[in-house]
Structure 1
């Protein structure tokens, strides 16, 4: 089973984790995949802006039904193709899915390479938030062979 782990919180810890990942990874490890990937968001706001309920529904529909085109994916969730296209492009940037050229039709096929998504949110209630008040614009996707 391939799982996408999504973490949200502590910007400094995310930076340290990313640096540690880069230091620990061996060049040969980049080619080996054991089904583990981590997508890290710096703030809760970044997370909810990127993974809206409509996008989560779209991810689930694609993983479940494996549509052969963007148009078919839009039909699965009963949404306008242009809105779905935009969401698919954003989800591709995040690394949650890939957009592949279809075999016979040439249509672009959305593919979710994960069977499951697990989310961990670090949301401090006291003295919470980042000290600098800035938000992270681009989450980090780390893949490891661990």
Structure 2
């Protein structure tokens, strides 16, 4: 099973993981955001529903995804474009892909 970790990490933490990867240590698939605010701006509840529907499903067309999440095609298309632009999902010529079977979310909220 392929699992992606979605996390909030500083630039320094990302640089440390990249350096570790260059030494041969496996890092696993990760999607990182520099702040909680940006993560929640990109991963809205409706977009989470799209990711849930796409997890483990392979390549899907916009209409298929809209049917799975029970939403209109135009709104789903807008959300898919935002997810693709943010690098959360991939897109080929006609379909969208979220190439993972599971999602692990990893972040800590601290006092302001």
TM bracket, shorter-chain basis: 0.7 to 0.9
2:17–2:27 Cα contact (<8 Å) kept: no
Where does structure 1 differ by over 6 angstroms across 4 or more consecutive aligned residues? none
1:108-119 map, 5 Å: 108-119=94-105
Q: Which has the larger radius of gyration?
A: 1
> 1:111/1:40 Cα in 2 relative to 1: closer, same or farther (>3 Å)?
same
Question: 1:50 maps to what in 2?
Answer: 42
Highest relative contact order (Cα 8 Å, sep 6+), 1 or 2? 1
Q: Could you report, residue by residue, the CA deviation over 1:61-88 in whole angstroms, capped at 9, with x for unpaired residues?
A: 1225546411121121121211111111
Structure 2: state its 5+ residue gaps: none
| Total equivalences in the alignment | 111
TM superposition score normalised by structure 1: 0.64
TM superposition score normalised by structure 2: 0.80
Structure 1: state its 5+ residue gaps: 102-107, 129-146
